Structure 1
Amino acid sequence: MDAKLWPAYILHSRPFQEDKLLLSLLLPEQGRISAVARRRSGKQHRALQPFQLFSVSLTGRSDLKTVKQLEESSAASQLSGKVLFSGLYLNELICRIWPADQPSDNLFALYQQALAALVQVQQQATGLESALRQFELALLDELGVLPDWSSDCYDRPLQADQHYSYVSEQGLVPVQQGWPGAMLLALAAEQWHVVGLLPVAKQLTRQLLAPLLGNKPLASRALFTSSDKA
């Protein structure tokens, strides 16, 4: 990999050996990259913040790159409470389901849009659920696993008065009891103001994400549970 400067976000970091950190980085075009960086010392000794845009140069031809340069490009987005947990959820979701070193033309921009939406939620104290669902759906679409909302498994247009369930490798199947077609059509049109749409969207994204996440629980979801019990 060349040593050009790339904009990057730090999705996750953990200690690596005595004086290094293992970073999971999100870069334009490159997708999710694993890299080793030396711990900062002296005047540069500051925690590497999530939700902060950096400029980074990387070297190495293996899957594990080496950070040659890492500088802050802008201040970190200030998130707190459930909005902070939501940001950590986005980071963990990418780390868990986006294949390492799989390029993407859109993932970096989608993540930036999601962060901007979370900042707006922090300021306005509303819209958190729709911001999360929009990112989940966009991520699934980028992975190529989002169902076709325009037709059912028989290539028939979705009907507002019909009910559907989702079956893996088949798509949306007409059933007697399931998600109303009207809700799925509203979801396709991103009409988040429609009453009852957000629970349907959450059920759908949970079902679509489950096989990608496997049996290991998401640590960020436990933060929401702990905050509700506090």
Structure 2
Amino acid sequence: MHRIELQPAFVVHARPYRDTSFLVDCFTPDHGRVCAVARGVRRGKNNQRSLLNPFIPLLISLQGKSSLKLLTGIETSGHRLDLVGTRLFSGLYLNELLLRVLSEWDSCPDLFRHYTEALGELACEVDVELVLRRFEKHLLQELGYGIDWRCDADTGQLLKPDAWYRLDTQSGFIPVGAAGLANTYSGACLMDIASDQYALPDTKRVAKHISRALLRPLLGEQPLKSRQLFL
């Protein structure tokens, strides 16, 4: 029987299971996304139920022979991050991304670190757009869908601030002759995004547009429910 002891984790999704239990999707550094049964937590005043919420740093223990494990232990390893308003919606968006695009049992310690940092930044006064776009870039890189934000895909030369480029989601940014074509972006704007500089509203708009284009093949046609919260 496979056992996992005291693995750092965050709950990204939980739903009722049978009469008294929950099915819980957790994000962990060593095992990626894992799904486990939290048995009996809906019965009476179970102390563990309050821990099966997002944004609480946890240590979890699991066991079982199949990919669906039994949650045998859960405890906090820090205080719940207090997210409200747009920052709460943004945290739920990050969780839905992980739930939709991460395969189970794929180790991703770097992405776990970036996720933890992103939640901490959302709980502070860091620009939400910066937090989301930076995490999306890390997520795409982890999944093998990252692109080079600093060089053009044709020649490998550094992007030029006065040049214009179109996005090829498979290879990166391709130089085009002039502005005005659909889905073209200025080199200056792309260079700002590469450096995580989002002071200009146009930079934020372009960064969101490109991130959605890159994530679309991974997400498919089903829309993200968390995006509707921003409307």
Q: TM-score, normalised by structure 2?
A: 0.89
Q: Is the 8 A contact 2:60 2:73 kept in 1?
A: yes
Give matches, 1:1-230, under 5 Å. 1-40=2-41, 41-42=44-45, 44=47, 46-47=49-50, 48-121=52-125, 127-157=127-157, 158-175=159-176, 176-177=178-179, 178-194=184-200, 196-225=202-231
Q: Which amino acid aligns with 1:83?
A: R
Change in 2 beyond 3 A, CA 1:167/1:43: closer
Deviation of residue 140 (structure 1)?
A: 1.1
Q: Give per-residue Cα distances to partners, 1:94-139, cap 9 Å, x unaligned.
A: 1011122221121211110000110013xxxx61111111111111
Q: Measure, in 2, the Cα distance between the counterparts of 1:31 and 1:108.
A: 8
Q: 1:184 is aligned with what amino acid? A: L
> Structure 1 length as normaliser, TM-score?
0.90
CA distance in 1, matches of 2:95, 2:120: 14
In the TM superposition, what is the alpha-carbon distance from 1:73 to its structure 2 partner? 2.2
Superposition CA RMSD, Å: 1.7
Give yes or no for contact 1:186–1:194 (8 Å, CA) kept in 2: no
Question: Alpha-carbon deviation of 1:188?
Answer: 1.4
Please, which runs of 5 or more residues in structure 2 have no aligned partner?
none
Checking the alignment, whether the CA contact within 8 Å between 2:149 and 2:194 is kept in structure 1 is yes
Instruction: Rate the CA distance shift 1:170–1:54 in 2: closer, same or farther, 3 A.
Output: closer
Counterpart of 1:179 in structure 2: which amino acid?
A: Y
Could you tell me how far 1:195 is from its partner in structure 2? Answer: 5.6
Mind listing any 5+ residue stretches in structure 1 that lack a counterpart? 226-230
Confirm or deny: 8 A CA contact 2:130 2:196 kept in the other structure. no
* Count of residue pairs brought into register by the alignment: 221
Query: In 2, Cα distance between the equivalents of 1:104 and 1:3?
Result: 16
1:172-227: CA deviation from partner (whole Å, max 9, x where unpaired): 111233111111112212223356321111111011011111111111111112xx
Query: Is the partner of 2:151 in helix, strand or coil?
Result: coil
